[in-house]
A and B are shown apart, each in its own frame.
Chain A
Amino acid sequence: MIELRDVRFTYPDGSTAVAGVDLSIASGERVAIVGQNGAGKTTTVKLMNALLTPTAGEVLIDGVSTAGRTTAQVARSVGYVFQNPDDQLFSADVRSEIAFLPRYLKWPDDMITERVEQAAALAGITDHLDTNPKDLPSAVRKFVAIAAVLVSGCSHVILDEPTAGLDTRGLDLLTGILDSLERDGVTVVTITHDMRFVTDAFTRVVAMAQGRIVADGELADVFGDDDVLAQARLKRPDPAQLARDLRLGDRVVTIDDVVAAIP
């Protein structure tokens, strides 16, 4: 369970990125956070694994406040995959990159070997285990970063813009990873600008604007509400816009919805 209670965060330069957020995400739930660049999305998720600590309010992970805990402590239960994989990759080959956290946690060697191979298989990078991450295309490096986080077996995962730069093959792989995490009961919180990814892979959406949550609910609660879309400066996905213009129904959002709604 991830809970934010009236959380605020102001950067040292005085700019307020999060201006009072209440959010509760159950364990095993999958949530997409959407909104414009600068809406406070990244700051909000960084508060969830103690990369940042709130200026006011409280962040609770499985009932325990992040106050006074280090990122290294919180990261055992909340994994964070950065938007730019190069921010987190530094090892000479993919295998040691993925093994970094398990080694830090002093797992036994045979357990490390096994878990690294499992994480690599899940992320589709088994063929690249002996390659230097720097020699891989950026889309593949992204999956190395995902494997390096998932290997820890954390119960909550944060993904910052996971679809940026991915082609359809990468998108399929990512969707498979999300489904596998769901089966394992892992919470997934994703920041994304990719509305097609949201409507394909999520049922709960949180829309943010100016450091606040302006909507939190099902797809139709965000994409069916003109006020929310205007505040978060989101464009309605084309199928949802079509449904609206042709009065196919207020809750018709996805391509599947539209196919079902047309006689």
Chain B
Amino acid sequence: MVLASLRDVRFTYAYADRSALDGVTLELASGGLHGVVGLNASGKSTLCALLRGIIPHFHTGQLTGEVEVLGRPLLEWEPADLSRAVGCVFDNPFTQISGIRDTVFEEIALGLENLGTPRDEMIERIERVVEQIGLQAIVAKNPNDLSGGQRQKVAFASIIAMDADVMIIDEPTSQLDPEASEAVFQIIADLKARGKSIVLVEHKTDLLATYADTITVLSEGRVALTGPTRDVLSDPRILEFGVRPPDVTELAWRLADAGKPLGSTPITSAEAQAAVRQRLEKRAS
């Protein structure tokens, strides 16, 4: 099953002079965790909005090419069905919070109410997600009184509670501390283990290195690189597209520049440790 298939997709927002997506051809398998990286304005958020049907239903503009989501052409989906199948966390937690609900609990309920979830099931799901994301202490607070990091967690919780088969998650950790970021990634990994398909826009390539199956690099509305996580993150061309490699990958490149190459290019800290240890042992013998 294919999560999403795009063929030569172009999209230009109404009144924009440049295409946000400019000939994107891409296939994402279902059941995988797909990282999307690239500079700001490279088309990442537009891609997310497209997979969720927000383009072309809400943001209008000129769309050409073929887009299929879960095997069905995008324009054949009823928007209500698509919103049930594909959940979406936006990149700005300050705008995602509805502003019309008095408590975090009610805020998380908003999406479920729109899906027509029965009351008892709704309460059960909210309680589960509140515990999973660690929101117990703020569940009765007004969402408008929360910090950026807390709002981001609430926005994330709202989507997890909706339990869609596909989740489009746009920069869920930009306001979070390292521990909370790691926790969000672990929740995303759990979702994947439960068979969910995930598209994740994220700048933190060190976390993508551990969790993502594939990575797509967008640049100026085009797919610059796409493939298995290892192949993409260890490709020095990512620098040209404004993507910061994992620290350990950069370390390996810098060691090579300094005339101290490692035997392989690590993308995770465990791999880096093995590669550096090997070099140290070789030098010692």
Interface residues of A (CB under 8 A from B): 35-38, 42, 83-84, 86, 137-140, 161, 164-171, 193, 195-196, 233-235, 237-239, 241-242, 245-246, 255-256, 258-259, 262-263
Contacts and interface: CB of A to CB of B under 8 A. Distances in A.
Contacts of A36: 177, 179-180
Contact of B273 (A168, A169, A246): A246
Between A139, A168, A263, the greatest number of chain B beta carbons within 10 A of the residue's beta carbon is seen for A168
A235 B206 CA distance: 13
Given A168-B243, A255-B254, A262-B255, A238 B248 contact: yes
A179 to B, nearest CB: 19
A242 B272 contact: yes
B251 interface: yes
Interface stretch (B143-151, B155-163, B192-200): B143-151
Contact of A168 (B147, B182, B244, B272): B244
A53 B30 CA distance: 53
A164 B39 contact: no
A256 B254 CA distance: 8
| Most interface-central of B40, B246, B269, B280 (chain A CB within 10 A) | B40
Contact of B280 (A139, A165, A239, A246): A246
A24 to B, nearest CB: 25
Contacts of A196: 244, 247
Interface of B: 38-41, 91-92, 94, 147-150, 171, 174-182, 203, 206, 242-244, 246-248, 250-251, 254-255, 258, 260, 269, 272-273, 276-277, 279-280, 283
B239 to A, nearest CB: 8
Contacts of A262: 255, 260, 276, 279-280
Contact of A233 (B174, B177, B246, B269): B177
A47 B38 CA distance: 37
A226 to B, nearest CB: 15
A188 to B, nearest CB: 20
B13 to A, nearest CB: 11
B260 A255 contact: no
Nearest to A165: B174
Contacts of B174: 164-165
A166 B174 CA distance: 9
Given A196-B247, A246-B277, A255-B251, A137 B41 contact: yes
Nearest to A140: B40
B248 A242 contact: yes
Contacts of A241: 269
A259 B253 CA distance: 10
A255 B242 contact: no
Contacts of B280: 246, 262-263
A193 B94 contact: no
A164 B174 CA distance: 5
7 contacts: A86-B94, A137-B40, A167-B242, A196-B247, A233-B177, A235-B179, A259-B251
B255 A259 contact: yes
A235 B176 CA distance: 13
A141 to B, nearest CB: 10
Contacts of B178: 193, 195, 234-235
A135 B255 CA distance: 43
Given A167-B242, A246-B277, A37 B180 contact: yes
Given A36-B177, A38-B147, 12 more contacts: A166-B203, A167-B203, A168-B39, A168-B242, A193-B177, A193-B181, A195-B178, A238-B272, A242-B269, A242-B272, A246-B273, A263-B283
Question: 6 smallest A-B Cβ distances: which pairs?
Answer: A37-B149, A168-B242, A238-B247, A193-B177, A167-B39, A139-B40
Contacts of A238: 206, 246-248, 251, 269, 272
Contacts of B243: 168
A214 B96 CA distance: 34
A195 B244 CA distance: 14
A235 B183 CA distance: 12
A112 B27 CA distance: 52
A138 B93 CA distance: 12
Q: Which of the listed residues B247, B258, B273, B276 has the most CB atoms from chain A within 10 Å of its own CB?
A: B247
Given A36-B179, A255-B254, A263-B260, A165 B276 contact: no
A237 B204 CA distance: 13
Given A37-B177, A195-B178, A237-B247, A169 B242 contact: yes
Contacts of B242: 167-169
Contacts of A137: 40-41
Most buried by B among A42, A84, A166, A170: A84
A170 B39 CA distance: 9
B258 A161 contact: no
